[in-house]
Amino acid sequence: MKKTLLLSSCLALLLAAPAFAANPQPGETLADDQSLDYWLLDAIKTKDPQLNSAVEGSHVARQLFEGLYNQDNAGNLVPGVATDYEVSDDQTVYTFHLRPEAKWSNGDPVTANDFVFAWQRLADPVTGSTYAWYEELMNVKNAASIIAGETDPSELGVKALDDNTLEVTLESPIPYFIKMLTHTSTFPVNEAVVEEYGDQWTLPGNMVGNGAYKLVDDKLGQDLTLERNENYWDNDNTVIDSIHFQAINDKNAALTRYLAGELDYIELPAGQFPRLKEEYPDQTHAVPRSCTYAYLFNVSDKGPEALKDVRVRKALSYALNRDIIVDNITRGGQKPAYSWTYYATADFEPPVTDYSQWSQAERNEKAVELLKEAGYDKGNPLELTLSYNTSDDHKKIAIAAQQFWKAIGVNVTLNNTEWKVYLDHLKNKEFDIGRYAWCGDYDEASTYLDYFRSGGMNYGGFSDPDYDAAMKASLTAGNPSSDYDAAEQILAEEMPLAPIYFYSTPVMVPADVKGLPVENVLQNWYAKDLYRVAD
């Protein structure tokens, strides 16, 4: 098959730029201590790239593994294990050239077969990955039928042409395919190690990775220690020697630890940003982040009958006073959300929804009207449960939502559980209304809109044939914006969730820590790109 070099701006950037690395500026002196203490809100459930589905797990996985491409501080793609690629004229066959110097932490070479094994493993129903759908969204040949259990994983459209050449075949072209390759689910894993240790392969002493760091200790996902991987291909340009991840579920406690000098990165408790920015201007930042905070409605067979009525779902969404939440509770640069897709997503502007143009009084009036039409009023109040995972921020927002809903005659009980239990409840659809947030896996609208296609990680069980058709059409559209508009309009009409706000993450980082990606809306960071300077 004839192939041509893809001279897109994306590839041009890749070819022009070396792999991103720590880059001390002139006049800066490196500190003697190059360790990093990094905060996590929740304990990580798994370090397995194909099994992880949480933000915290992704932070850890990016240090232990490396995919075909990474991102720099501005979110641009830079080479990882791949040095470059070619694509066929019909844009369906990609040939990646892997760097021969890439090695696993045990010294074995990283090969194209390692990617083949990982990608087949991701799609294989036996693996049980909640992110298998991502490979279907990548449009890899036969991924959908493999995930459905209809085709053997060996038939996936990935092939090792030799140790350093990986070929990927798509069902049809998608313009953002390369952007999707920074996601942790696409990272390679060492087949021999996985086969030898089974579900114990990620334990200290067993685990082998190909990232800039290797696992030294892990205390139940709450406390992890990583050290530099001397076999990492770019170890000579890595500066940070060790990373200590600590899960602290109370942001106020984390703030106390930070101010005592025990942590080097934290996200601030709700409402604290203005004060801390004034007191610590060089350490306090509001970082844009491609995430949407929302309440998910369980419309599946396991959900309450009331939530199957779109009038009820709309009423609940309309009654949420988003301005009060971002102005009086979060207070960290967040923006009210009336659509699902992050407002600053590349090449797409979400359509303006009707209810976003109403006053809150008008939204409340409409909510009461809809509830009455659905058969609920003060004499027959609607009663539901709002579930959320442990966090003081989530609690404050949930209490506010409870009051907003009480004002329209809805009685809501709050249910708080720790993260691992809560995630199981979502997966098993054991909730009425669930706190939810989605952060972009790549900077393109489909990373949000594909979530509500039938199946996949769609925890609320929403399914709409017109929505599925719009998203299917977007795959072959030269400009998918009109299909995305249609999908967003369906979400606004069917309301399977209530968007609440778009993220801006208020953080504190010591002034001597340099290199964090404050301009990358995906907030994908790599400790190998960081460094500490002397006072």
Amino acid present at 224: L
Contacts of residue 99, defined as CB under 8 A and 6 or more positions apart, other chains included, come to: 79, 81, 82, 83, 164, 233
> pLDDT tens, 214-265?
999 999 999 999 999 999 999 999 999 999 999 999 999 999 999 999 999 9
Domain count, the chain: 2
> pLDDT tens, 397-431?
999 999 999 999 999 999 999 999 999 999 999 99
The answer to whether the CB of 492 falls within 8 A of the CB of 337 is: no
Here the CATH number for the domain that contains residue 468 is 3.10.105.10
Tokens, residue 135: 């490979």
Question: Could you tell me if 443 and 473 lie in one domain?
Answer: yes
How far lies 481's CA from each of 104, 443, 466, 476, in Å?
A: 41, 14, 16, 12
Average pLDDT over residues 43-53: 96
Tokens, residue 293: 């905070």
CB atoms within 10 A of CB 479: 11
Element containing residue 167 per DSSP (H, E): strand 165-169
> pLDDT tens, 68-86?
999 998 899 999 999 999 9
Query: The pTM is what?
Result: 0.86
Report residue 20's pLDDT band, with 50, 70 and 90 as the boundaries: low
Bridge partners of 72, per DSSP, are none
Report residue 26's pLDDT band, with 50, 70 and 90 as the boundaries: confident
The answer to whether the CB of 55 falls within 8 A of the CB of 522 is: no
Go through 95-106 and write b for each residue having 16 or more CB atoms within 10 A of its CB, e for each that does not.
Answer: bbbbbeebbbbe
Tokens, residue 300: 């599946």
- Higher pLDDT pick, 478 / 474: 474
- Is 265 within a domain? no
The answer to whether the CB of 176 falls within 8 A of the CB of 440 is: no
Alpha-carbon span 212 to 232, nearest angstrom: 5
Question: Could you tell me if 487 and 523 lie in one domain?
Answer: no
Alpha-carbon span 215 to 336, nearest angstrom: 40
The answer to whether the CB of 510 falls within 8 A of the CB of 33 is: no
Report residue 19's pLDDT band, with 50, 70 and 90 as the boundaries: low
DSSP string, 143-163: HHHHHTTSS-GGGSSEEEEET
Average pLDDT over residues 355-379: 97
Report residue 479's pLDDT band, with 50, 70 and 90 as the boundaries: confident
pLDDT attached to residue 7: 33
Tokens, residue 374: 């659905």
Report residue 23's pLDDT band, with 50, 70 and 90 as the boundaries: confident
Question: Could you tell me if 117 and 193 lie in one domain?
Answer: yes
Average pLDDT over residues 434-444: 95
Percentage of the chain lying above the pLDDT 70 cut: 96
- Is 266 within a domain? no
- Measured in degrees and rounded to the nearest 5, phi and psi for residue 84 equal -170, 180
Question: Could you tell me if 516 and 489 lie in one domain?
Answer: no
Here the CATH number for the domain that contains residue 185 is 3.90.76.10
Beta strand 93-98 with 158-162: parallel, antiparallel or unpaired?
Answer: unpaired
Question: Could you tell me if 333 and 432 lie in one domain?
Answer: yes
pLDDT attached to residue 2: 34
Alpha-carbon span 232 to 65, nearest angstrom: 10
Helix (H/G/I), strand (E/B), else coil: 506: strand
3-state secondary structure 377-434: ECCECEEEEEEEECCHHHHHHHHHHHHHHHCCCEEEEEEEECHHHHHHHHHCCCCCEE
Alpha-carbon span 20 to 78, nearest angstrom: 6
DSSP string, 217-264: EEETTTEEEEEE-TTSTTGGG----EEEEEE-S-HHHHHHHHHTTS-S
Region class of 523: left (phi > 0), else alpha (psi between -120 and 50), else beta: left
Alpha-carbon span 11 to 30, nearest angstrom: 33
pLDDT at 9 over 50: no
Alpha-carbon span 278 to 263, nearest angstrom: 20
- Is 468 within a domain? yes
How far lies 405's CA from each of 160, 303, 383, 398, in Å?
A: 56, 19, 10, 10
Q: Among 11-15, 192-196, 415-419, which stretch is predicted with the lowest mean pLDDT? A: 11-15
Alpha-carbon span 95 to 85, nearest angstrom: 5
Report residue 12's pLDDT band, with 50, 70 and 90 as the boundaries: very low
Reference 30, options 274, 325, 241; nearest CA is 241
Amino acid present at 68: L
Q: Among 21-25, 296-300, 366-370, which stretch is predicted with the lowest mean pLDDT? A: 21-25
How far lies 457's CA from each of 131, 342, 391, 449, in Å?
A: 7, 18, 23, 12
Query: Domain of 405?
Result: 288-505
Question: Could you tell me if 123 and 205 lie in one domain?
Answer: yes
Reference 282, options 504, 505, 507; nearest CA is 507
pLDDT at 6 over 50: no
DSSP string, 249-312: S-HHHHHHHHHTTS-SBEEPPTT-HHHHHHH-TTTEEEEEEEEEEEEEE--STTS-GGGGSHHH
**In degrees, to the nearest 5, what angle opens at C-alpha 266 toward C-alphas 261 and 268?**
115
Question: Could you tell me if 460 and 320 lie in one domain?
Answer: yes
Question: Could you tell me if 351 and 429 lie in one domain?
Answer: yes
pLDDT at 211 over 70: yes
pLDDT at 18 over 60: no
Reference 389, options 364, 411, 416, 426; nearest CA is 416
CA 434 to the chain's CA centroid: 18
- Is 280 within a domain? no
Average pLDDT over residues 432-458: 93
Contacts of residue 116, defined as CB under 8 A and 6 or more positions apart, other chains included, come to: 156, 158, 159, 160, 166
Reference 401, options 321, 474, 296; nearest CA is 321
Question: Could you tell me if 481 and 517 lie in one domain?
Answer: no
Question: Could you tell me if 145 and 235 lie in one domain?
Answer: yes
Beta strand 35-40 with 242-247: parallel, antiparallel or unpaired?
Answer: parallel
The answer to whether the CB of 531 falls within 8 A of the CB of 239 is: yes
pLDDT at 51 over 60: yes
Question: Could you tell me if 426 and 522 lie in one domain?
Answer: no
> pLDDT tens, 126-160?
999 999 999 999 999 999 999 999 999 999 999 99
Average pLDDT over residues 487-514: 97
> pLDDT tens, 372-387?
999 999 899 999 999 9
Question: Could you tell me if 314 and 344 lie in one domain?
Answer: yes
What average pLDDT is seen over the chain? 94
Report residue 17's pLDDT band, with 50, 70 and 90 as the boundaries: very low
- Is 219 within a domain? yes
The answer to whether the CB of 5 falls within 8 A of the CB of 86 is: yes
